[in-house]
Amino acid sequence: MKRMEASIEHLVSRLRETGGDGLVAVLAYGSRLVSASPDRHSAWDLIVVVDDYGAFYRALSEGGYTARSAGLLATVSRVLAPTVIAFWPAPPDGPLAKCLVLSRADFQRELGPRRLDHFCLGRMAHHISVVHARDPEAAAWVEELIAGARRMVLDWTLPFLEGSFSVDDFCRRMLEISYAGEIRPERGGRVSAVYEAQRETLRGIYTPILEAEVASGALERTNGKYRAARPASSVAQLRLNAYFGISKARATTRWVKHMLTFDSWFPYIVRKVERRTGMTFEITPLERRFPFPLLLPKALRVLRAARAQSTAHGRSTGGRGRPASGARTSGSGSSGASNGAGAS
């Protein structure tokens, strides 16, 4: 963002005051950043990178920004990183942020070949804005990790593209694969909306990356269309499918963790489900009082319904809802697939 909106400027300012020197960086992404059908209830999606989990959560607790135990948050942050928290410094009318909190070490691991799943890597493929960096060294470190993560997009997208493809085809398929890697409360057509909202940005990011592959001989370009120079091996495709399967399982398991870590989880998820699917999600007083395990079955039913709705939309438009074998890829894509699957 050339100039931060007042709402996110307020959020970042409060995070800086709270985190102090232990706040390494804050990155914005998601519907508020790219204007993909947000509304007044939409939270800002932020990635918050810190030096130490315990110190950051203690600062949040002392500032009155979380009702959760700092010790609990620090403990669960070491499992299934990142940890999702609500940061709402001025409720009920002030801006709300949904923060993915990672330590510096976890952030670096999850954007590299030794990542445990696709959760963070998939988000880096989109438009990202670094809204705070502690110092020039931190800014350069974050930018380098983002650039590396985007180069790795070819590793997990090219094997699921058949024949010739344009930059737009590549970017759409990349988004389809990322969205298929998680159970999301979204209606069909969400990928198209997200793509259209950031189309020019994605073209600017991935055209130079594809051209670099042409220069290396991994891709061929004819009349503005690209084609992989060599087909993907069946082993590479199988390993990628296993990688995405494990990633989806880990992402689904995080929903239980969200209930423990996210203040005001119920109002947030109700608004998101209704906004994204058009379905009504009613929570009884008993479910509000004892969300786990009473609310979990209902939440999973709603998510499955949203998934079925999205799949039906994909069939009607000819889209593919998940990675499939039988595609072509370059040699670099096969290598990257091996790294990703092996890390999972």
How far is it, in rounded angstroms, from Cα 303 to Cα 297?
10
- Is there a cis peptide before residue 92, judged by omega within 30 degrees of 0? yes
Segment (H or E) for 80 = none
How far is it, in rounded angstroms, from Cα 256 to Cα 102?
18
Average pLDDT rounded to a whole number, residues 159-169: 94
Residue 172 exposure: Cα atoms within 13 Å on the Cβ side: 15
Instruction: Output the CA angle 218-219-222, nearest 5 degrees.
Output: 155
How far is it, in rounded angstroms, from Cα 199 to Cα 180?
19
The pair of structure tokens assigned to 244 is: 């995405």
pLDDT band at 341 (very low <50, low <70, confident <90, very high): very low
pTM given for the model:
0.81
pLDDT digit string, tens, across residues 236-253 = 889 999 999 999 999 989
Least confident residue range of 43-47, 207-211, 289-293: 289-293
Evaluate whether 58 touches 106 at the Cβ level (below 8 Å).
no
- Give the 3-state DSSP-derived string for 38-77, with helices as H, strands as E and coil as C: CCCCCCEEEEEEECCHHHHHHHHHHCCCCCCCHHHHHHHC
DSSP state of 133: E
Residue 324, C-beta contacts closer than 8 angstroms, at least 6 positions apart: 160
pLDDT, residue 314, reads 52
* Size (the chain), residues: 344
How far is it, in rounded angstroms, from Cα 165 to Cα 290?
50
Q: How many C-beta neighbours within 10 Å does residue 9 have? A: 14
CATH 3.30.460.10 location in the chain? 6-150
Evaluate whether 195 touches 202 at the Cβ level (below 8 Å).
yes
Which overall architecture, per CATH, does domain 6-150 show? 2-Layer Sandwich (3.30)
Q: Which segments of the chain does DSSP mark as H helices, in order?
A: 6-19, 31-34, 53-62, 70-76, 104-110, 119-124, 136-151, 153-157, 167-180, 190-197, 199-216, 234-261, 265-277, 285-289, 291-317, 331-343
pLDDT, residue 328, reads 39
Work out the mean pLDDT of the chain and round it to a whole number: 83
User: Which backbone phi and psi does 24 adopt, to 5 degrees?
Assistant: -80, -50
How far is it, in rounded angstroms, from Cα 336 to Cα 184?
26
The pair of structure tokens assigned to 149 is: 């993560």
Least confident residue range of 39-48, 101-110, 155-164: 39-48
Q: Rounded to a whole number, what is the largest CA-CA distance in the chain?
A: 62
Q: How far is residue 207 from each of residues 154, 172, 242, 289, 326, measured CA to CA in Å?
A: 12, 13, 28, 51, 24
How far is it, in rounded angstroms, from Cα 262 to Cα 272?
14
β 44-50/97-103 pair status: parallel
Higher pLDDT, 129 or 344: 129
End-to-end Cα, the chain, rounded Å = 33
pLDDT, residue 321, reads 40
